[in-house]
Chain A
């Protein structure tokens, strides 16, 4: 038996945007076991949520994650609305979907760039970031901010997208789709990219089920598990099918995310076509009381908010389970058996977001 050694991977590592440490037990160049260590960015947001009133927590929930922020506030608002029996106007639902999908696109493009960077394709990284800038501009012109949109509120949304802005959105989406078409042959068909991704970090469908994997990690194993299909917000009125692949390796996860980019473009277009007229918010009176679980689909997978109110303006308990939290056990199943050089790529294909994991 070869001699075992332990390599600490992270918390500071060139490919990791966020602090995650993995203690890799190595046998020569092969990983035998991986032990995660997190806790570098724990902020105690769930505790802070108990001190603020529930309207303020909307903005706090948005800051759980720096990438999929809008969907966090959307999940929180949906939970509170269900607790207080508030019916959100139809137009607000469509607007929520539009911003959710914009967030999904910018998150996947950021992920695409970072993964390209992890396997050493710097110019593809820049290509991804350039395309992402179009979406960020679009979010700033429609919502007023580049990432922290702050447009979701209990009872609806705070800002309307006028139909006069649809032309601009369509132009931006056209340009994004063109950029994606340009990148597609490189990502999906290039020899050097496939060499780094195909057959690397494979997990079986059974392992994905046992570890409770969500989002693109589960979809790449053949599970069509997409919470959008339950039709929250306006997703029930839109036409789409969850993207799935069957290989379960890094390349399958890349394919899933890349196909979801096209899907998001399509969903935003459908929203603009089907957007009804009407109010964008309803006034909300009273305080939440009782327990509820709200779930939505984020770019990384399903997010869960457990909300417990006690009839006062402060919440009794807010628990957030983010998708990366559910994907870390799957990551620990992927790593054993791989080469040390593949570790950064495998970690990045689960799209880790450590700040949301620790909250």
Chain B
């Protein structure tokens, strides 16, 4: 049993750079391939409504007439199940977190 075992760590922590980022001034660069938020390319969308049916959290609402595609960002769980289901591949995941 020893005492002062943490002194080494403390010394290293004092002399090394901070582990955190000064956030609003130095934002984190998005990691490639991350599921940040859902995006739609509205020009290719055919408003078929498959994404709405697949969505586990009912975050999407699609209507054919008039042509609307609505995402409730507070309901979306960013699982990208809709992205896989989309027949026209117009949905995509942006790696930046919103």
A-side interface residues toward B, CB under 8 Å? 52, 55-57, 59-60, 63, 123-124, 127, 130, 133, 137, 140-141, 144-145, 148, 150, 158, 182-183, 185-186, 189-192, 194
Contact B5 A144 (CB under 8 A): no
Contact B19 A144 (CB under 8 A): no
Residue in A60, A130, A145, A186 whose CB lies within 8 Å of B6: A186
Q: Which 4 A-B pairs have the closest CB atoms?
A: A56-B56, A144-B35, A185-B5, A190-B5
Q: Is B80 an interface residue (CB 8 A)?
A: yes
Question: Smallest Cβ distance from B23 to chain A, in angstroms?
Answer: 14
B interface residue count range (under 10 / 10 to 19 / 20 to 34 / 35 or more): 20 to 34
Contact A133 B3 (CB under 8 A): no
Most chain B beta-carbon neighbours within 10 Å: one of A57, A59, A158: A59
Contact B6 A124 (CB under 8 A): yes
Contact A150 B79 (CB under 8 A): yes
- B residues 24-83 in Cβ contact with A at 8 Å: 31-35, 54, 56-57, 77-81
Expressed in whole angstroms, the Cα–Cα distance for A144 and B78 within the complex equals 10
Contact B1 A191 (CB under 8 A): yes
Question: With A150-B35, A183-B9, A185-B5 given, can you name 8 additional A-B contacts, CB distance below 8 Å?
Answer: A56-B54, A59-B79, A59-B81, A141-B34, A158-B84, A182-B12, A189-B5, A190-B6
Question: Smallest Cβ distance from B8 to chain A, in angstroms?
Answer: 7
Question: Smallest Cβ distance from B20 to chain A, in angstroms?
Answer: 9
Residue in A140, A182, A189 whose CB lies within 8 Å of B9: A182
Smallest CB gap from A142: residue in B: B33
Q: Is B93 an interface residue (CB 8 A)?
A: yes
Smallest CB gap from B78: residue in A: A145
Smallest CB gap from B6: residue in A: A186
Which residues of chain A come closer than 8 Å to B35, judged between CB atoms?
Answer: 144-145, 150
Which residues of chain A come closer than 8 Å to B57, judged between CB atoms?
Answer: 59
Knowing A148-B77, A189-B1, A191-B3 are in contact, say whether A141-B31 is a contact too (CB < 8 A). yes
Which residues of chain A come closer than 8 Å to B31, judged between CB atoms?
Answer: 137, 140-141
Contact B19 A130 (CB under 8 A): yes
Q: Can you list 12 pairs linking A and B with CB atoms under 8 Å apart?
A: A56-B81, A123-B9, A124-B6, A133-B19, A141-B33, A144-B35, A145-B34, A150-B79, A150-B80, A185-B2, A189-B2, A194-B1
Which residues of chain B come closer than 8 Å to A140, judged between CB atoms?
Answer: 31, 34
Expressed in whole angstroms, the Cα–Cα distance for A123 and B8 within the complex equals 12
Most chain B beta-carbon neighbours within 10 Å: one of A63, A144, A191: A144
Expressed in whole angstroms, the Cα–Cα distance for A186 and B57 within the complex equals 44
Contact B6 A123 (CB under 8 A): yes
Question: Smallest Cβ distance from A196 to chain B, in angstroms?
Answer: 13
Binary per-residue interface labels of chain B (4-19) against chain A in the complex, 1 for a CB within 8 Å, 0 otherwise: 0110111011000001
Most chain A beta-carbon neighbours within 10 Å: one of B32, B34, B93: B34
Which residues of chain A come closer than 8 Å to B19, judged between CB atoms?
Answer: 130, 133
Which residues of chain A come closer than 8 Å to B12, judged between CB atoms?
Answer: 182
Contact B77 A59 (CB under 8 A): yes
Residue in B34, B56, B77, B81 whose CB lies within 8 Å of A144: B34
Expressed in whole angstroms, the Cα–Cα distance for A127 and B19 within the complex equals 10
Smallest CB gap from A159: residue in B: B33
Question: Smallest Cβ distance from A193 to chain B, in angstroms?
Answer: 8
Residue in A144, A192, A194 whose CB lies within 8 Å of B93: A144
Residue in A52, A185, A189 whose CB lies within 8 Å of B56: A52
Which residues of chain B come closer than 8 Å to A148, judged between CB atoms?
Answer: 77-79
Which residues of chain B come closer than 8 Å to A183, judged between CB atoms?
Answer: 9
Smallest CB gap from A150: residue in B: B79
Which residues of chain B come closer than 8 Å to A60, judged between CB atoms?
Answer: 56
Smallest CB gap from A194: residue in B: B1
Knowing A144-B93, A158-B84 are in contact, say whether A186-B1 is a contact too (CB < 8 A). no
Which residues of chain A come closer than 8 Å to B10, judged between CB atoms?
Answer: 123
Knowing A60-B56, A123-B10 are in contact, say whether A186-B5 is a contact too (CB < 8 A). yes
